A and B are shown apart, each in its own frame.
Chain A
Amino acid sequence: MAYAGIRDAKRQFMTTIIIVILIAWFMISALSQLSVRRIVALKSHDVFSLIPNWSFFAPRPGTSDYHLLFRDVNSRGEPGKWQEIPLADRRTLWGAIWNPQKRRTKTLSDVVRGLLRLAQDKSLRDYSFTLPYLAILNYISSLPHPELSVQTQFMILKSDGFFSKQDPEFLFLSNLHGL
């Protein structure tokens, strides 16, 4: 009898703790959507994404496509042709069930956007040590390159999708990097 009583008290105590945690977790999540300053500061340290961000496609909907291109330079210093790395894949009905490509697409899109955000930061003098820059460079360096290539460089362009009358807009050009 005494054992059952202790067990019930323990379970009741655990339940109270769990309810407090869930209420706190929800309150922090809700305040985070309102961009409350302290919560935003807390979120900047949230490497586990425990505080969600639910403002999908807002405030700015993704209405542009980014294009990632690279070219190599050979030992004589001659640059090759620009080659595009597709950031988007063809939509298929099967993709509604199984879509492993979306992770690569989303990642490339995220790092390109991340780099462009950093490029607007005037206080930052050298982008080449930022994580998005290093991620793109690392990825491009891992692609097959002609044997004579000694350096590589990447560029980011922006366009307005399938039915666009305008040429892609230039946004970013990287330094040359040894292969």
Chain B
Amino acid sequence: MPTTTYPYILAIAMMASVGASISTLEWIHGRRQLKDDGLFSWQVIGSRDFAVGPGILATTLNRLLSFRPFVGILILRSVALLSLPIALWFGHGSVIVLSVIVFSSLLMHLRSPWGMDGSDQMFTQIFGALLLGCVAGSPLAYKASLWYIASQSCLSYLTAGVAKALSPHWHGTNVVFEIFNTRTYGYEPAARFLLDRPQISQALTWGAVVMECSFPIALVAGFPGCLLFVTWGISFHLMNAVAMGLNSFFWSFVATYPAVIYCALILEQFLYHRIRI
């Protein structure tokens, strides 16, 4: 496996671009909700303090985030996302393309105080780190970006796992069944299967908690040890995409895995072969 940064940066950018493109096209598909009579009405959301008044910030935001300009921003974002792997491949324009992506991500978060999820947060982390790496443009800056993305990935699983392990709500026997039993995040066939099988529900709960808590071990597991965690993560997010409809989570979290593999390889060389990082 190579330990130069370029293939890893490209793999992350490609997967994150695919996922964020799907997510952005979903936004464009449901753009009716961005109109003044929709769920994301700027007349309602724009009544927050920072967007009200005659100041430059409020005026600029009102111009940028009303229906038509915002749909234009989403279209521009889609183009930038599709261009990113090409820009990185040819080594031209990646700072501009990534700036458009990051700037549009920030505006999307500002425009929608509701409806954004963990995958949107992870996309912001990934593209933000890639932009910072590209701005400096040095091998060390690219390495720092990869370490940042891998660290955020590990932090996300560790936090999710520890928060569940410590929560009394997760100590019940049938939590996974209760989640699958909801119409919001659930899946009726899975709920029916788990209805009279609390042992399986409990095993799924604690299996997920243990794997999430232990995910940071991937960094020191070396290669191919880290692939155990990566394989679990891919299966976990694939199941969540099918059973819970969380399609963007698959792309945003799996996009961090090349960084995890890169850091595992580097740490393996350092820890077991005493080669300087």
Contact assessment for A62 and B182 in the assembled complex, using a CB-CB cutoff below 8 Å:
yes
Across the interface, name the chain A residue whose C-beta is closest to B205: A61
- B163 within 8 Å of A by Cβ? yes
Q: Majority SS of interface residues in chain B? A: helix
Contact assessment for A22 and B144 in the assembled complex, using a CB-CB cutoff below 8 Å:
yes
> Could you tell me the distance in whole angstroms from the C-beta of B63 to the nearest C-beta in chain A?
17
Given A33-B159, A100-B26: A56 in contact with B114 (beta carbons within 8 A)? no
Within B37-63, the residues touching A (CB, 8 Å) are 37-41, 43-45, 47-48, 50
Contact assessment for B152 and A29 in the assembled complex, using a CB-CB cutoff below 8 Å:
yes
Hey, what's the 0/1 contact readout for B111-124 against A, CB within 8 Å counting as 1?
Answer: 01111111011101
- A-B residue pair count with CB separations less than 8 angstroms: 228
> Could you tell me the distance in whole angstroms from the C-beta of B35 to the nearest C-beta in chain A?
8
Within A6-37, the residues touching B (CB, 8 Å) are 11-12, 14-15, 17-19, 21-22, 25-26, 29-30, 33
Contact assessment for B144 and A58 in the assembled complex, using a CB-CB cutoff below 8 Å:
no
Complex-state Cα separation, A96 to B249, whole angstroms: 10
Q: Please name 13 further chain A to chain B contacts, defined as beta carbons within 8 Å, in addition to the given A139-B39, A162-B186, sorted by A numbering.
A: A14-B136, A22-B132, A22-B148, A25-B128, A33-B159, A50-B128, A56-B160, A59-B167, A63-B179, A91-B245, A96-B238, A135-B44, A163-B191
A-B contact pairs, 17 of them (CB 8 A): A11-B138, A14-B138, A47-B50, A52-B124, A54-B159, A55-B160, A59-B167, A61-B175, A87-B183, A91-B186, A95-B247, A102-B246, A104-B115, A106-B117, A110-B115, A134-B47, A135-B39
**4 tightest Cβ-Cβ pairs between the two chains A and B:** A107-B115, A142-B37, A161-B181, A58-B163
